[in-house]
């Protein structure tokens, strides 16, 4: 009865509208049909909004940080809301107008700034970076602006370098000058430009400096004048001074056992822009989303350029375009980018075939905006997505020949190492199953013929057992990931105190401008630094140790004496230290 009344009300309103526009009387049945369609649409939208609210309901508390969300169609906002608190100290709630630090979502705006200069003929994507930044060392290879933007340059990542050098996250203020200084010290690239894809924030910081030097404006001034103001993004800017007061900004937090509400503050304090530091709202992102279809800023050709992948030397194309990642969700093509800095997490996701977009900005690192954005997309576009294949059937092992016995699988246990970068994978054997030791551990589901599925993902790896004797020559490689290298197995290494003595001493790196010291305490090798916390090293494979997400691989001279080491992590490979004492 309530629905019928609602339809009758709408039919009356519609008739009034038609009469006021001199259409005369409309047949009653047509008005009722139109009204029913409108009521159905409103009911559907109301149901979708309620489901979005239910999705974010666990975050909607007066004692927790949370998220803001906007749902967009063709750049117009279908729904927006805020959940949780923007500031726990003052009890300020998150709203769609709350300003967030969106971390690496910033990159597409830096890419557009460069594209605007390209449109004017002032730079080319194929220019050598040293044309504008002679501080960048000459590595014997040309590094283009395009390679920097696609993360195929081989340039080492600024944050990894700075942390290796002793800079403390959220404690030390990092400036653009600091990034240029440590970049200028590097003696090598991770790899030859154009041969691999490896994410590097340094590239976008350098692109931001290019914009500044060519335009004569700061990146903040340039983007405000040429991007944000023309699009009406009134609450968006690059924050190039961490001391600047920004009204209505969200503070960020991280879990802490002894903190109020089990939290403590977690806010970046760097003054580095280009790779990060965009401040914006889920409302303002709608204007940017609309520009993706209109090309008001950058032109349609410029927008298309932002979405083009990079063809590497091998002929393989990257999924990373210019600050935008190409992907798919349940059979639908997606373009998007996420971000993570300190306690901030963000995601801006687009599904172009439906001109549909979702932005989710959060101030709690325990939240996954990417997962939330995709679940919101399912609420609105579920009928257009392909049914997800059953994970259980996808990950069931086939009846193929070539399965290994439990004893043979146990012989595959160990540390697998690939070069360059001393990259390691640990495979263990537990309960008659192999497991990849990432986080709590991911099972390797056998498919036969040395192939395994990694957990419930679509990722597959091949582990060849060699002579199956456990002698160290087993090999691992990924079959459907952009990683062409072979990982070779090493046996476990357990040095005693006498073995560890040759690694003690002081080591210096000119690339980082810092010293590391090692000594033995309670039979273990310990790391010391003037700013960083002392830690115990864990032996990994001969002459190599694990140190808080990094691998330290010691080197030897012609007489077999330890003379230095190289340090690597996921984004920086082979920074050199020499033994000085």
Domain spans of the chain? 2-59, 78-155+190-240+247-384, 393-490, 497-579
Alpha-carbon distance 468 to 486, whole Å? 17
Is 104 among the catalytic positions?
A: yes
β-sheet bridge partners, residue 325: 320, 336
Q: What is the pLDDT of residue 403?
A: 66
Alpha-carbon distance 333 to 329, whole Å? 6
**Surface-to-core class of residue 264, CB atoms within 10 Å of its CB (0-12 exposed, 13-18 middle, 19+ buried):** middle
Alpha-carbon distance 320 to 218, whole Å? 26
Determine contact, residues 274/280, Cβ cutoff 8 Å.
no
Structure tokens at 216: 């004569």
Centroid of chain to Cα 474: 32
Alpha-carbon distance 528 to 581, whole Å? 14
Alpha-carbon distance 177 to 206, whole Å? 11
Alpha-carbon distance 383 to 146, whole Å? 38
Q: What is the H or E stretch that residue 104 is in?
A: none
Centroid of chain to Cα 149: 14
Q: What is the pLDDT of residue 432?
A: 85
For tokens 């309103």, the residue is 13
Q: What is the pLDDT of residue 389?
A: 41
Instruction: Select the CATH number that applies to the domain covering 497-579 from these four: 2.40.128.50, 3.30.470.10, 2.30.40.10, 3.40.47.10.
Output: 2.40.128.50
Alpha-carbon distance 24 to 302, whole Å? 48
Determine contact, residues 461/478, Cβ cutoff 8 Å.
yes
Least Cα distance to 81 among 100, 94, 63, 65 occurs for 94
Q: What is the pLDDT along the chain (581 residues), one digit of tens a residue?
A: 334 333 433 443 444 344 334 444 445 544 444 444 545 555 566 899 999 999 999 999 999 999 999 999 999 999 999 999 999 999 999 999 999 999 999 999 999 999 999 999 999 999 999 999 999 999 999 999 999 999 999 999 999 999 999 888 778 888 999 999 999 999 999 999 999 999 999 999 999 999 999 999 999 999 999 999 999 999 999 999 999 999 999 999 999 988 899 999 999 989 999 999 999 999 999 999 999 999 999 999 999 999 999 999 989 899 999 999 999 999 999 999 999 999 999 999 999 999 999 999 999 999 999 999 999 999 999 888 775 443 434 444 444 445 678 888 888 888 999 999 999 988 988 888 899 987 667 899 988 888 999 887 778 899 988 754 444 578 999 887 767 889 999 877 899 999 999 999 999 999 999 999 999 999 999 999 998 899 999 999 999 999 988 999 999 999 999 999 999 999 999 999 999 97
Least Cα distance to 174 among 185, 184, 163 occurs for 163
Which CATH architecture is the domain 393-490 placed in? Beta Barrel (2.40)
Same CATH fold, 497-579 and 393-490? Answer: yes
Structure tokens at 71: 């749902």
Q: What is the pLDDT of residue 557?
A: 95
Least Cα distance to 213 among 139, 145, 306 occurs for 145
Q: What is the pLDDT of residue 5?
A: 31
- Helix %, strand %, coil % of the chain (to 5): 30, 30, 40
Least Cα distance to 66 among 102, 100, 94 occurs for 94
Determine contact, residues 229/296, Cβ cutoff 8 Å.
no
β-sheet bridge partners, residue 82: 68
DSSP character at residue 319:
S
**Whole-prediction pTM value?**
0.86
The angle formed by the CA atoms of residues 232, 236 and 237, to the nearest 5 degrees, is 125
Q: What is the pLDDT of residue 396?
A: 44
Determine contact, residues 69/372, Cβ cutoff 8 Å.
yes
Other Cβ atoms less than 10 A from the Cβ of 565: the count is 23
Got the DSSP string for 521-533?
ETTEEEEE-SSSP
**Surface-to-core class of residue 50, CB atoms within 10 Å of its CB (0-12 exposed, 13-18 middle, 19+ buried):** exposed
Of 11, 104, 160, 200, the catalytic one is: 104
Q: What is the pLDDT of residue 467?
A: 57
Determine contact, residues 308/321, Cβ cutoff 8 Å.
yes
Q: Which superfamily is assigned to 78-155+190-240+247-384 in CATH? A: DD-peptidase/beta-lactamase superfamily (3.40.710.10)
Count, residues in the chain: 581
Q: Residue-wise over 354-373: b if at least 16 C-beta within 10 A, else e? A: ebbbbbbbbbbbebebbebb
Phi-psi region of 570 (alpha: psi -120 to 50; beta: other; left: phi over 0): alpha
């Amino acid at each position: 009865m309530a629905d019928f009344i609602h339809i009758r009300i709408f039919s009356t309103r519609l008739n009034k509208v038609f009469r006021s526009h001199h259409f005369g009387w409309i047949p009653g049945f047509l008005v009722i049909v139109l009204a029913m369609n409108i009521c159905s649409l409103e009911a559907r939208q109301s149901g979708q909004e309620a489901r979005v609210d239910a999705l974010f309901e666990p975050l909607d508390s007066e004692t927790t940080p949370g998220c803001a969300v906007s749902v967009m169609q063709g750049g117009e906002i279908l729904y927006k809301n805020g959940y949780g608190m923007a500031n726990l100290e003052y009890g300020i709630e998150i709203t769609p107008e709350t300003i967030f630090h969106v971390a690496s979502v910033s990159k597409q705006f830096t890419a557009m700034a460069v594209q605007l200069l390209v449109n004017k003929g002032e730079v080319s994507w194929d220019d050598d970076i040293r044309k504008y930044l002679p501080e960048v060392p000459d590595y014997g290879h040309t590094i283009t602006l395009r390679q920097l933007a696609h993360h195929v340059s081989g340039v080492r990542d600024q944050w990894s370098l700075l942390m290796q050098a002793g800079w403390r996250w959220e404690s030390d203020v990092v400036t653009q000058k600091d990034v240029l200084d440590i970049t200028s010290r590097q003696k090598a690239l991770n790899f030859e430009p154009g041969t691999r894809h490896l994410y590097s924030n340094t590239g976008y910081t350098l692109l931001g400096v290019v914009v500044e030097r060519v335009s004569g404006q700061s990146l903040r001034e340039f983007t405000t004048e040429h991007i944000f103001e023309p699009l009406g993004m009134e609450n968006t800017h690059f924050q190039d001074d961490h001391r600047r007061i920004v009204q209505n900004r969200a503070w960020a937090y991280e879990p802490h056992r002894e903190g109020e509400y089990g939290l403590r503050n977690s806010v970046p304090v760097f003054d580095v822009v280009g790779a990060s530091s965009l401040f914006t709202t889920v409302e303002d992102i709608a204007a940017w989303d609309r520009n993706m279809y209109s090309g008001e800023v950058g032109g349609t050709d410029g927008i298309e350029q932002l979405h083009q992948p990079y063809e590497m030397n091998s002929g393989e194309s990257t999924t990373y375009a210019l600050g935008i990642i190409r992907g798919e969700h349940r059979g639908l093509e997606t373009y998007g980018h996420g971000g993570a800095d300190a306690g901030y997490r963000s995601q801006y996701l687009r599904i172009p075939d439906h001109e549909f977009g979702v932005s989710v900005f959060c101030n709690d690192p325990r939240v996954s905006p990417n997962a939330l954005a995709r679940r919101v997309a399912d609420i609105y576009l579920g009928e257009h997505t392909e049914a997800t294949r059953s994970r259980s059937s996808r990950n069931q092992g086939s009846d193929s020949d070539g399965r290994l016995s439990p004893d043979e699988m146990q012989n595959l246990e160990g540390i697998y190492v690939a070069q360059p970068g001393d990259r390691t994978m640990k495979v263990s054997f537990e309960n008659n199953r192999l497991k990849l030791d990432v986080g709590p551990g991911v099972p390797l589901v056998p498919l036969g013929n040395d192939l395994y599925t990694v957990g419930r993902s679509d990722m597959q790896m091949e582990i060849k057992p060699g002579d199956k004797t456990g002698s160290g020559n087993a090999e691992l490689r990924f079959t459907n990931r952009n990683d062409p290298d072979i990982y070779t197995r090493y046996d476990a290494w357990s040095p005693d105190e006498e073995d560890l003595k040759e690694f003690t001493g002081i080591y210096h790196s000119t690339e980082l401008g810092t010293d590391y010291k090692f000594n033995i305490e309670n039979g273990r090798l310990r790391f010391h630094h003037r700013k960083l916390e002392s830690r115990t090293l864990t032996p990994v494979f001969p002459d190599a140790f694990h140190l808080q997400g990094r691998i330290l691989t010691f080197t030897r001279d012609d007489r077999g004496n330890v003379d230095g080491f190289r340090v690597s992590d996921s984004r920086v490979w082979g920074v050199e230290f020499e033994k000085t004492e």
